[in-house]
A = this chain, B = another copy of it.
Amino acid sequence: MGNLADYIESYLKRLLENAEQGMIELQRRELAEMFRCVPSQINYVLTTRFTPDRGYVVETRRGGGGYIRIVRLSFRPSQDRASLIEAEIGDEITERRADSLLLRLEDEGLLDEGDRAFVKAVLERETERLHPSYRGTVRASLLKAMVMLLLRE
């Protein structure tokens, strides 16, 4: 754990711990100066460490007065769960597999009947008019997004 990216990561996480609302805002250039590295190193840290899968969202703005904002999601889908969802769903999924995944989540008590029905209905409605060859991937995107939102705490 001795490289620069790790130091920057833990510095940012420390800031986040102490931040109200689990959100910090800073400038890329300043941070880079602080760690004496090129600015693009900051992007590297952000894209490898502060991803939605790991429970973070990064928003930025360019131009004068630009900034980088890191939000720590209140729902932190546990590492396992996030990667499990990712692995289970993948880049595309059939309707049958989507259904059975939803049923399984309901069985495990992670989703209630109403949520499951709602997600199922949205999946059907949003995919039916699509060209068949795109349904699988869109269904996967939709399912991942909604499940992530529902499993938050």
Contact = CB atoms under 8 A, between A and B. Distances in A.
Give chain A's interface secondary structure class. helix
Nearest to A130: B137
A121 B67 CA distance: 16
Nearest to A121: B57
Interface string A109-153: 000011001111110011100100010011001101110111010
A134 to B, nearest CB: 7
Nearest to A69: B117
Highest count of chain B CB atoms <10 Å: which of A6, A67, A130, A149? A149
Which 8 pairs between the two chains have the least Cβ-Cβ distance? A3-B65, A126-B141, A57-B117, A57-B121, A122-B145, A71-B117, A2-B65, A142-B145
Interface of A: 1-6, 21-23, 25, 52, 57-59, 64-65, 67, 69, 71, 73-74, 113-114, 117-122, 125-127, 130, 134, 137-138, 141-142, 144-146, 148-150, 152
5 contacts: A1-B65, A3-B65, A23-B113, A122-B144, A134-B134
